[in-house]
Chain A
């Protein structure tokens, strides 16, 4: 039987492209082939390699939940050649999807825990499905604290969903920006400082942190100071990826492949890494 070329992506059509911020678009994508669409099952934290034909491929976490219908949603920040090409796509255009890849946030292990979700800039994207999943089984989890930071108020991702998050019981949403403007009445501070000030209690809690590497670095240090143990601190690692199949040895940090052993790691795992990311 002829093996399927693992580099050939599923063909997909762009359903919609909504601007979340001046440089981030929410792309809704639907796989053309119905059987492929049905078999594309994924969990929060997993990612896919999107093909902008003519430019190349790049990894993006799915920000939708499979049970919310067939469309896959990706939050794409315009930062390079592939992302620029993805931003130039119009609804109806063809693109490629390969995946799902990587491990996922094991939310089933966090049942009954207090959840602290810390996102920085576009780092909020992989956390949105986590939050929405928790909201769907709200009673399975204790308190939910969401800390979402960005450079400027207009860079806050998924702003339209803040209201629904805040309205949910036992849920708090803390926003912060590096630089405010006239309309911004909220907090102006860096995410690690906000975490230190809010000082969430480490008892029976799990924290998930995503964002630029520099923010993760300092936030994890603060969480440790607050008494969180390394296995309570969960994060994702960003790495250069090409094949997504554990072959091209591009994304390895020490002996781990971020595309297969990650991208989700606990700080306990990361501290054992040979090579610190």
Chain B
């Protein structure tokens, strides 16, 4: 059931939300757009293609304390940290919402990752459908769409004098201001997007696993962590303890398979030393292991952030079409 929200109603609604809950929304920071907690509605910007970093940073923060060890009278007691208020992410694109849904696979599978699961349960998603595509977008090829409403609680679509709100879940319904009038207007058609050859890419990666293509592609790769950190579906993490003065915490932080020490074990043995093997790990995990492990789509939502941020332009669309071409040719 679609509702109509005027621009004024939207501002008043967001103003109410940011007082009751943690409201994460796109904020302009120099030339970047980042999801940040906002205290005033004026900080929010709606003029952006997609944010620089994905909203995954709220569910799997760059750094979080999994639990802290507190010594009360000699007995150490492990207390896991919790977020203080319910949260709302406003203005996330449908591709990012799908990214979060994909990450639910590994994190909510038994035994559920409670820090992630708690944030997921206490956060509502208000999506904003895309009115025009960016050159690096290819979400329609990856099972999402500029107006895909399947992974958000409410999807807003902009029309000339306001927004149409598609209410998807009960959580969304409870969030909406009450006095909203129904909207009979038809939803505008989504922008057209390029298509990327993705059919049976999983098979192609399996076939070409030991093909020299990976070493050639890795020649120009710098093995920084940009692609993994900007990506909405990369979720590898590292864990270590931190103690300063009295409190001691077990901290979890982002990590990436591109860093040299990612698979090195104490004593120095490292099964994955060549550049090609490290770069292949990223594509193999997204295009082969993840779909086979979670019987879902590929762990890529077509947001194009890795294409936009890679210092040496390793373009996942190009990699996929290379793999398809090589598979037909039977290897390079």
Contact = CB atoms under 8 A, between A and B. Distances in A.
A contacts B directly in the complex (CB < 8 Å)? Answer: yes
Interface of A: 3-9, 11, 51-58, 79-80, 82-83, 94, 96, 212-213, 238-240, 242-243, 245-250, 252-255, 274-275, 277
B241 A56 contact: yes
Contacts of A96: 78
A69 to B, nearest CB: 24
Contact of A53 (B112, B248, B252, B255): B248
A204 B175 CA distance: 67
Contact of B269 (A3, A53, A212): A212
B28 interface: no
Closest 7 pairs (CB-CB, A-B):
A80-B266, A6-B111, A5-B114, A7-B66, A5-B80, A255-B289, A56-B240
Contacts of B269: 212-213, 238
Nearest to B257: A249
B117 A57 contact: no
B265 A239 contact: yes
Contacts of B266: 58, 79-80, 82-83
Contact of B66 (A5, A52, A250, A277): A5
Interface in B276-307: 277, 284-285, 288-289, 292-293
B237 A248 contact: yes
Contacts of A245: 111, 113
A132 B216 CA distance: 50
A5 B67 CA distance: 9
A277 B67 CA distance: 33
Interface in B206-250: 206, 209, 235-241, 243, 248, 250
B69 interface: yes
A248 B253 CA distance: 11
Contacts of A254: 209, 284, 289
Given A275-B271, A275-B284, 6 more contacts: A7-B115, A245-B113, A246-B106, A249-B235, A255-B289, A255-B293
B59 interface: no
Contacts of B115: 5, 7
Interface of B: 66-67, 69, 76, 78, 80, 106-107, 109, 111-115, 117, 206, 209, 235-241, 243, 248, 250, 252, 255, 257, 262-267, 269, 271-272, 277, 284-285, 288-289, 292-293
Given A58-B266, A247-B113, A253 B271 contact: yes
A54 B264 contact: no
A274 B114 contact: no
Given A5-B67, A240-B262, A79 B271 contact: no
Contact of B239 (A6, A54, A57, A213): A57
Contacts of A55: 240-241
A59 B237 CA distance: 17
With most chain B CB atoms within 10 A of its CB, the pick from A9, A80, A238, A243 is A243
B246 to A, nearest CB: 12
A243 B76 contact: no
Nearest to A85: B241
A238 B76 contact: no
Contacts of B69: 53
Contacts of B264: 240
B263 A249 contact: no
Nearest to A83: B266
Contact of B206 (A3, A8, A246, A274): A274
B115 to A, nearest CB: 7
Contacts of A275: 209, 271-272, 277, 284
Given A4-B111, A79-B267, A274 B284 contact: yes
A115 to B, nearest CB: 27
Given A5-B115, A94-B76, A242 B106 contact: no
A252 B290 CA distance: 12
A4 B250 CA distance: 16
Nearest to A32: B75
A277 B269 CA distance: 11
A47 B240 CA distance: 19
Given A4-B114, A247-B106, A274-B206, A242 B238 contact: yes
Contact of B263 (A7, A94, A250): A250
Given A11-B76, A94-B76, A252-B289, A80 B267 contact: yes
Contacts of A82: 266
Nearest to B293: A255
B261 to A, nearest CB: 8
A240 B255 CA distance: 13
A198 B327 CA distance: 47
Contact of A250 (B78, B262, B293): B262
B107 A247 contact: yes
A93 to B, nearest CB: 10
A239 B67 CA distance: 25
With most chain A CB atoms within 10 A of its CB, the pick from B107, B235, B257, B289 is B289
A274 B209 contact: yes
Contacts of A242: 237-239
Contact of B112 (A3, A56, A249): A3
Contacts of A8: 66-67, 78, 80
A79 B265 CA distance: 10
B203 to A, nearest CB: 13
A151 B222 CA distance: 38
A6 B236 contact: no
